[in-house]
Structure 1
Amino acid sequence: MSKKTPRARAVTMKDVAHHAGVSRTAVSLVLNDRYDVTLAQDTRQRVLSAAAELGYRPNAGARALAQQRSDWYGLVTEIVTAPFAVDVIKGAQDRAMTDSKYLLIASTESDPAAETAAIERLLEQRVEGLIYAATWHRGVTVPEIAREVPTVLVNCFDIEGRYPAVVPDERVGGYRATERLLSADHRRIGFINLDPGIPAAIGRREGYLSALREAGIEPDETLEVTGHATADGGFASAEQLLDLPEPPTAIFCANDRMAMGAYDAIKERGLRIPHDVAVIGFDNQELIAGYLRPGLTTVALPFEQMGARGVDLLAAITAGESTATKIVTVDCPLLERSSV
């Protein structure tokens, strides 16, 4: 059995002081960027050179304890391997790094006990604030312990209204999808919605109805169906729409999975997309929208931008600004492919 390589002893301020030939106090002043105490420039340079030669690394925990700040934000989310969660993390981390901040990430898998435990561990690391992110837009109950530091919600909102939040502008996304179909001269536009009651279903439907009315088209209830967010539901709903005495010439699906099912229903009838029936999705799930043939025109959920805006809000709060219950909506852009 091979022996483990012993871990090298960490270089201390005392080691740096001995190497530079100065006092430990002088080393502390230099390495903590203290300029409020007069110190010769030559001394400062000797300390910095010694620290570099020895490979000195500051003790982040001790520095955070002394300064009551750590330059870390905590990010709590359900499943960090979900594609959308990765985009939230990227947006938050990229934005944080512009202010020399970093993320500590904790996965909770939708378990309230795990959420509380994860936040507790992040607080033990003296994070300056928390990003609490959800994989789908909904109201949430945030563990009480999160109130100990500034906290911002991303892709969700606090049911009790205690925290600021960043959410997608579902209504504008629904409006934009419908308006795109109207601009292609479609007047009978079917809508396959998500399960009723959730924010995405409510907002996307409001946008759909608003765009129709602005175009002078009275909404037709027979053109609205529910696809339960699945490909099978999209297939069945598209069949229902296509069986109407006057079927739609375009279908707006409230997510890309349902659009995938709608594609199959349309093609099984020998119809062509977009020549006979145009289709628009929502979410921009790359493994679906980018690989359907023809490519699916869809509305993107701005996960990366929401992560960045969440950090912006958190930075504002930690700087002393009052954003206690502010709700920020982020635009959902239309991505053109070939289905309209």
Structure 2
Amino acid sequence: MKKTKHEKPPRRVTMTDVARLAGCSQATVSFVLNNATGVTISAETRGKVIEAARTLGYGASSLIHRPVLGNLGSGTIGFLCDQLATTPESVNAIEGARQACWDEGATILVAQTMGNPEREEKAVEAMLRSGIEGLIYMTIFTRQVAPPSFLENLQIPVVLLNCYAPESRFPSVIPDEAAGGFAATETLIRLGHRRIATIVGEPFMQAAQDRLKGYRKALAKAGIAYDADLVGEGNWSPTSGFEATQRFLALKDRPTAFFCQNDKMASGCYNALRDAGLRIPQDVSVIGYDDDELCRHLRPQLSTLILPHRAMGAWAISELGKRRTSGKDSYPLTKMDCNLIERDSLAVISQ
């Protein structure tokens, strides 16, 4: 149809449009879409940029259109997880895998097994009958596992997500929890804090152990003596965060900052601080971990570290595309950064 003189041709979508929708700079969009090396960009920001580019139809991105499935083709991927409903991490990992498959037309079949070996084998048998070309094996808690023996004999590639096996028999990816604990603590140190309390999760869990290792490493690097009185044991719940914070506030020399090793404990910490008449961040700084949805609903909004499960899911899909067989070689363990998301709960310590 002939255009009238009043009609304008449709405007071409630009990187500026993508940046505006993603809530970041044009430079960040360029780095993400061109897969620039040597630039550290959080998994959350990367995901926002890619999703914004898709929404707007910006088609110049090699990240969006590259064939991440490699020689797997455009078939079906199996995703085996012990738990789906406990936390959002498994859903985020599945979503990351789905996004990586987006342009390939691949389908992901998901099964929850509750860690039952018999159910795991039956689930994989059903997936194989459906023609899966690769399998992702995930645990909800980061840990070393003894993968089911039947995985060794599969004629399709297998990747471990959020867990790893002895002797690195399969490609594996986990969050770098020690680096995350270090980053959280170092951030508070850079703001001038020296009395930094930490509330850890259940100590038998590797995530709690590694986050505490990172905390201690950051203190040591800054020349700050480790003080056991500033380490409180929690159980990942708001109540445990509340009670641990009350104990810290009873100290003669109370902390000026809190590193809560998950966001739910941080929410309990918030309540205890308010009950004590302390303001966040004017009197006390607080940092959490996980980037739970509640971070954006606390007042002030909670600074936290993001668990990279979405990026880990995308990595797993990419890794599946590299191999036809699994379990025959030794693979290095891949660790992904838990990047800081700075919101309104941090401030330079007042002198």
Residues 141 and 160, structure 1, Cα contact 8 Å, conserved in 2: no
- Aligned residue in 1 for 2:284: 277
> Aligned pairs, how many?
272
Larger displacement relative to structure 2 (172-181 or 79-88)? 79-88
C-alpha contact 1:163 1:324 (8 A) present in aligned 2: yes
Contact 1:235 1:264 in 2 (8 A): yes
Give SS of 2:297's match: coil
2: CA distance, partners of 1:218 / 1:117: 52
2:308 corresponds to which residue?
302
Residue 221 (structure 2) aligns with: 214
Summarize deviations over 1:23-72 as a string: whole Å, max 9, x none.
Answer: xxxxxxxxxxxxxxxxxxxxxxxxxxxxxxxxxxxxxxxxxxxxx98722
Match of 1:86 among 91, 96, 99: 91
Q: Which amino acid aligns with 2:333?
A: I
Quick check: 1:70–1:126 contact (8 Å CA) kept in 2? no
Amino acid at match of 1:220: D
Query: 2 CA distance for matches of 1:97 and 1:323?
Result: 29
Alignment partner for residue 100 of structure 2, among 84, 92, 95? 95
- Measured after TM superposition, the shift of residue 256 of structure 1 is 0.7
Query: Structure 1 regions of 5+ residues with no counterpart?
Result: 1-67
Aligned partner of residue 308 in structure 1, secondary structure: helix
Pick from 71, 76, 83: which aligns with 2:75?
71
Which secondary structure does the structure 1 equivalent of 2:322 belong to? Answer: helix
Note the C-alpha offset of 1:101: 3.6
TM-superposed CA distance for 1:140, in Å, is: 2.6
Distance 1:319 1:79, change over 3 A: closer
Aligned-pair CA distance for 1:214:
1.3
**CA displacement at 1:294 relative to structure 2:** 0.9
State whether structure 2 residue 210 is matched by structure 1 residue 203: yes
Does the 8 A contact of 1:313 with 1:323 survive in 2? no
Tell whether 2:246 aligns with 1:239: yes
Q: Which runs of 4+ in 1 moved over 6 A?
A: 319-322
Residue in 1 that maps onto 2:141: 136
When residues 73 and 323 of structure 1 are mapped into structure 2, their CA distance, relative to the original with a 3 A threshold, is: farther
Cα 1:138–1:93 shift into 2, 3 Å: same
Q: TM-score scaled to structure 1, two decimals?
A: 0.75
Q: Over alpha carbons, which structure has the higher Rg? A: 1
Structure 1 residues 168, 128: closer, same or farther in 2, change over 3 A?
same
- Whole-angstrom distance in 1 between the partners of 2:269 and 2:326: 50
Q: State how far apart, in whole Å, the 2-side matches of 1:168 and 1:291 are.
A: 25
Q: CA deviation at 1:307?
A: 0.4
Cα distance between partner residues in 2 of 1:142 and 1:69: 26
1:9-20 to structure 2, matched below 5 A, reads none
CA contact (8 A) 2:170 2:327 kept: no
CA distance in 1, matches of 2:204, 2:306: 21
Q: Aligned AA for 2:280?
A: I
AA aligned opposite 1:246: D
Percent identity, please: 39
Q: One-letter code of the match for 1:78?
A: D
What is the 5 A alignment of 1:1-340?
Answer: 71-81=75-85, 82-147=87-152, 148=154, 149-159=156-166, 161-286=168-293, 288-318=294-324, 324-340=330-346
Q: Counterparts of 1:98 and 1:199 in 2: how far apart (Å)?
A: 36
The one-character-per-residue Cα deviations of 1:316-340 (angstroms, maximum 9, x if unpaired) are 2238997643210011110111111
User: Contact 2:73 / 2:104 at 8 angstroms: preserved in 1?
Assistant: no
Q: CA deviation digits over 1:221-270, x for unaligned, max 9?
A: 11111111111111111111111111110010111111111111111111
Alpha-carbon distance between aligned partners in 2 of 1:215 and 1:240, rounded to the nearest angstrom: 25
How far apart, CA to CA, are the structure 2 residues paired with 1:323 and 1:259? Answer: 42
More RCO (CA 8 Å, sep 6+) = 2
